Structure 1
């Protein structure tokens, strides 16, 4: 009986591996990946492990129809798990060599997340105007991420600054224009890989690294909203989406 059980288990294991598909190979230089993650943590961005691309389902979580493949945390406890501790991040990075990482927003930093074309336009205008711009990341799925100081943790909770642009993971589709990731949200932190579109995996990478100080989000907001309004104006199917109405 035990031999038969072992054989069945072996067949099931092979079938499971086939269904999951061939996993991508680790990045060529894992030292660079770890160094980039540690640099982000050293800048105060709390990190936690996230899913990664997988051939069979698009996401390593194996959830059929995963709505955010390779973009979500591994653990439901990601908010309490997120950390800047160097030792913990080194352990995660080495034990999970294919994992992406998220950074939890609303603790130390927020993220203003805009369409790529609008973000590039705004970044050029901000730099030309001499405005202090912090870390900026670019995603191959068509978004640009501006990392800023948070406005979500005031000393007096009654003074918390609500914003109709606040974006949480479950409301991403409702914010095709500018998204404000604050308390209860997260974004992928570079380096990260996304499921490909037939031409191989896509990525999230730094345009300006975490060595740049975090700016006040309000110093960027006008430039970003204006660029988004122009971008949305060129795509009339989403007219008005740059500044979503209060839900």
Structure 2
């Protein structure tokens, strides 16, 4: 980390070099190995010994882990060379993956996600990559189109997607990818890493039943604890 002395002015941007290198390496790998589009987002700046989001909002809800501007989707690219230029300009930027292109995601509470993941593995269901975030959510990567039909599929099984915390993210949305760190809360991680074995993504209909069941059970448990 860059050390600022009292002898000179405090720079606006101070970014841990190693963190930026990790995020750049991951972003390049996503483009080259998975052919995913990638966009550089905001980053964490250290000013006077305190980390802040580069957006300038001291109360930022996702410090260092959201788009840097309204045009983020248009800037997302599958070119490794373009990705390297992005991180040359903004070392330490978070890694954003647009949904609705190579994949959508089914976003669920973490406790429900782990329950569903264990059940899916027991049943031998096809699985794509899965992330877990510091705000205790898990994102299951599925084929594009899932976001438009997730709520309807859950309703057919007797569940309200809104009530159980199951969210489909498609066109116009994004996921924050590992190894991005969200302020002081921790880093986004892979619960199931991208690999050759999960290159082919499942359709939402293949995962919706265990996910909806797990989310419903988790929501019921939460209500019981509060009663």
Please give the range of the TM-score, normalised by the shorter of the 2 chains.
0.7 to 0.9
TM-score by length of structure 2 reads: 0.77
The 1-side partners of 2:163 and 2:77 are apart by 27
Q: Distance in 2 between matches of 1:113 and 1:136?
A: 10
CA RMSD of aligned residues (A): 2.9
Where do 5+ consecutive residues of structure 2 fail to align?
1-7, 153-161
Counterpart in the other structure of 1:219? 206
Deviates most, 81-90 or 93-102 = 93-102
Contact 2:100 2:172 in 1 (8 A): yes
Q: TM-score, normalised by structure 1?
A: 0.72
- Point out the more displaced range, 76-85 or 202-211: 202-211
Report the counterpart of residue 9 of structure 2 in structure 1.
Answer: 14
Map of 1:207 onto structure 2: 191
State the SS of the aligned residue for 2:145. Answer: coil
Deviation at 1:107, TM superposition (A): 1.7
When Rg is computed on C-alpha atoms for both structures, the one with the higher figure is 1
Residue 156 (structure 2) aligns with: none
Instruction: Write the distance in 2 (CA, Å) between the matches of 1:53 and 1:219.
Output: 38
Q: Select the residue among 37, 42, 62 that pairs with 1:51.
A: 42
Q: 1:175 to 1:187 in 2, by over 3 A?
A: farther
Q: Distance in 2 between matches of 1:24 and 1:221?
A: 40
CA distance in 2, matches of 1:61, 1:143: 23
Aligned length: 203
Alpha-carbon separation, structure 2, partners of 1:58 and 1:237? 38
Is 2:63 aligned against 1:69? yes
Classify 1:83/1:68 alpha carbon distance in 2 versus 1 (closer, same or farther; 3 Å).
Answer: same
Q: Distance in 2 between matches of 1:162 and 1:126?
A: 20
**What CA distance in whole angstroms lies between the structure 1 residues aligned with 2:100 and 2:119?**
26
Unaligned 5+ runs, structure 1: 1-12, 153-159, 166-173, 240-247
Structure 1 CA distance, aligned partners of 2:137 and 2:225?
A: 16
